[in-house]
Structure 1
């Protein structure tokens, strides 16, 4: 398979994954997700995934940060993470959202923040969203677990 075909395959899988998140959350919101205590954060999952996907194709993202973005995308798409969606449903996106916010914060602090912001499609201020998610991660996962997830992710990325 040539590089172009491989890249197209990755893009298609990511688009399919993005669509599956959106559909899953729409269904969840019609049932158990309505008024769920984590609803506000879980609903950010597709936007964060889309941001990471766009950043992975961003020409102005310095190459030394590409591995972090790709690792966060892989973590998002993995069925085996600390809170697996396949077992707990959409609340399982809590760790994926937190890891994504962790990577985005590092990017905002270490590259031209406008490069990151211009790829954000959400309605809210990106920096505020990221900080709220990171605070939520400490609350929802517990400080010790969240710190361990960050250490594990940082050592793998």
Structure 2
């Protein structure tokens, strides 16, 4: 985990051109960035089907405000003074369609969390400054987690993933925690999950079911004492307000819960009959096959030092 109270990013004209070209691949032509005092000039050609031509667009951006994750930029034309307004608007909408953010009424709103959706990071934006040499972005309260997103990219459609239970599971003394956990994961999965986390969503949705499974095993008379200790330690970790991976980054806080649950079930499988484990699983599918698939994914994503720390929780 990387923490920093303040970080300053300096982006040159080349940096900005490469970043914008990455978003606008195939949608615009001849993209160029020029920096001036207090302004960014963007030149590009936008294919407009209605007129069957690539319309040259030259725009001037100035910073209006920068706070939280959002940058607001004022937008004005620097060319096409004699071109009809409808054609300019068509070219403008087409240009912004290819770029991140949202344009409306002369204001371009850029959410940096969307730009960085492939990176597990949280921050607060302090300010943005433009001068002839660079665009300077000042961040505070930066927290980044070194997840290997290339490992997530290895997931293929149809890979073995858990199917979470569709009904609430009754666990009297822990019902409030269970419902809160279930709702939290559902909320992030449905509306806030960043792009990098998408392959993990089916697994994170099943975290509450693994919690239920471990509570059931901790109570089951057929489970030997050593396995009950593993289940109890994992349940206690779930209930603890302290995580190995802090929560400010969406869904990161649930990843260590998932990793610990998978490791716990793997260890318990050496001590508990398979049919007892399967009976305790409230989801669908063979739970031990799911655990092995989940551990394969987690081991490609979470740094080894975090996995080692999770294993130590089970040995205490």
State the 1:34 CA deviation. Answer: 7.4
Query: Which protein has the bigger strand share?
Result: 2
State the 1:110 CA deviation. Answer: 1.8
2-side partners of 1:116 and 1:93: how far apart?
A: 22
2-side partners of 1:46 and 1:22: how far apart?
A: 6
Report if aligned partners of 1:38, 1:91 keep a CA contact under 8 Å in 2: no
2:212: which partner in 1? 50
Q: Deviations over 1:71-105 (max 9, x none)?
A: 000111222121133x2343311111111111111
Counterpart check, 1:103 vs 2:275: no
1:3: which partner in 2? none
State the 1:47 CA deviation. Answer: 0.8
Say which is worse superposed, 56-65 or 15-24, in terms of deviation.
Answer: 56-65
State the 1:119 CA deviation. Answer: 0.6
Greater Rg, structure 1 or structure 2? 2
RMSD between aligned alpha carbons? 1.9
2:175: which partner in 1? 15
1-side partners of 2:193 and 2:282: how far apart?
A: 23
2:286: which partner in 1? 125
Query: Which protein has the bigger helix share?
Result: 1
2-side partners of 1:51 and 1:42: how far apart?
A: 15
1:154: which partner in 2? 314
State the 1:51 CA deviation. Answer: 0.4
**Which of 247, 252, 255 matches 1:94?**
255
Report if aligned partners of 1:107, 1:113 keep a CA contact under 8 Å in 2: no
2-side partners of 1:14 and 1:90: how far apart?
A: 21
1:38 aligns to what SS in structure 2? helix
State the 1:120 CA deviation. Answer: 0.5
Counterpart check, 1:80 vs 2:246: no
2-side partners of 1:39 and 1:83: how far apart?
A: 17
Counterpart check, 1:116 vs 2:280: no
Higher RCO, 1 or 2 (CA under 8 Å, sep at least 6)?
1
2-side partners of 1:34 and 1:47: how far apart?
A: 23
State TM-score, norm by structure 2: 0.43
Q: Deviations over 1:103-136 (max 9, x none)?
A: 1111112221211111101112201211122112
Q: For residues 144 and 26 of structure 1, do their structure 2 counterparts lie closer, same or farther at Cα, with a shift above 3 Å needed?
A: closer
State TM-score, norm by structure 1: 0.81
**Which of 217, 230, 241 matches 1:68?**
230
State the 1:37 CA deviation. Answer: 3.3
2-side partners of 1:50 and 1:138: how far apart?
A: 23
2:188: which partner in 1? 28
Unaligned runs of 5+ in 1: 1-10
Report if aligned partners of 1:84, 1:93 keep a CA contact under 8 Å in 2: no
